[in-house]
Chain A
């Protein structure tokens, strides 16, 4: 590719020097913002091939560029429902936040619900972000 800069360090005029591996290793490798409400579309994303609506409040995503192992870190954040009155949770988990398959090298599972762990909710804005090492 044209325009490639190869460097091991970046130096600031005021804040010191930083190894470029911090940038390469520490950057977000995948994110997605999607609507699991009635419209069911992906708004913005990086390194996602598809999102699967599995049931109320449950979705899965698939990476295009796989991670090297399942030990990457993912966070999930939904938009609070306008009609909501309870405390809500969102997590990277297969079911009810109680464990099961959560992330793999190629995908993640996410659930969203209220304080009763068996009450799942769809959110119009689900946001997932993943950091880690790519394969």
Chain B
């Protein structure tokens, strides 16, 4: 099914179209990240409708739009969004592979300080894995962390961001000239 020309259409309307016309995609990928030393590892799951929209293409805005809005929100005088049009009027991105979509989600939904510094410690604080690699029960859930053993060893079973980048998104698409000019995200 071809995606209608959605540039200028409210993003919410596009999501309604996607929900009505696209089969949801349940991803087996999970993003595991540690946002601070006092909290257990968080497990991010992609939404099936969102994943279908990402794979379809022509629906979602580039991820930098969310960064600009986040920068607006971080401003101390922020009251409400006045640049919501960025979500609706920016040219939507094309179809993504499932792996690229997960990478997009990391940049959108994982705290920036996590993915920006994911590999600067003595072990990564963010990995992408298959759901089968998560613990089978919720016992000791509040003590979950990224395993030293798994991270240091087998890249075939645990894919890191570093590995993904070789086939991942073209980052130049994700950084707009507007974003680089404004230098508003931190």
Chain A contributes a number of interface residues (CB within 8 A of B) equal to 37
The CA-CA distance from A66 to B16 in the complex, in Å, is 14
Q: Which of B7-15, B148-156, B158-166 contacts A (4 or more CB under 8 A)?
A: B7-15
Task: Tell me the A residues contacting B by CB distance below 8 Å.
Answer: 1-2, 29, 32, 34, 37-38, 40-42, 45-56, 60, 62, 64-69, 104-107, 122, 134-135
Task: Tell me the B residues contacting A by CB distance below 8 Å.
Answer: 4, 9-13, 15-17, 19, 26, 30, 39-40, 42-50, 53, 60, 66, 69-70, 73, 79-81, 83-84, 87, 105, 108-109, 131, 134, 136-138, 141-142
Q: How far is the CB of A69 from chain B (nearest CB, A)?
A: 4
| A49/B138 contact (C-beta < 8 A), A64-B11, A65-B87 known | no
Q: Are the C-beta atoms of B44 and A135 separated by less than 8 Å?
A: no
Q: Are the C-beta atoms of B12 and A29 separated by less than 8 Å?
A: yes
| Known A51-B47, A65-B11; 10 more pairs at CB < 8 Å | A38-B138, A46-B16, A49-B47, A52-B42, A52-B44, A54-B39, A55-B39, A64-B11, A69-B80, A106-B73
- Chain A residues closer than 8 Å to B17, beta-carbon distance: 1
- Chain B residues closer than 8 Å to A52, beta-carbon distance: 42-45, 109
Top-3 shortest CB links A-B:
A135-B84, A135-B81, A69-B80
Q: Are the C-beta atoms of A66 and B4 separated by less than 8 Å?
A: no
Q: Are the C-beta atoms of B70 and A106 separated by less than 8 Å?
A: yes
B80 touches which of A46, A47, A68, A104 (Cβ 8 Å):
A68
Q: Are the C-beta atoms of A56 and B141 separated by less than 8 Å?
A: yes
A56 touches which of B15, B80, B138 (Cβ 8 Å):
B138
Q: Are the C-beta atoms of A46 and B19 separated by less than 8 Å?
A: yes
Residue of B nearest to A42 (CB): B47
Q: Are the C-beta atoms of B48 and A40 separated by less than 8 Å?
A: no
Q: Are the C-beta atoms of A53 and B12 separated by less than 8 Å?
A: no
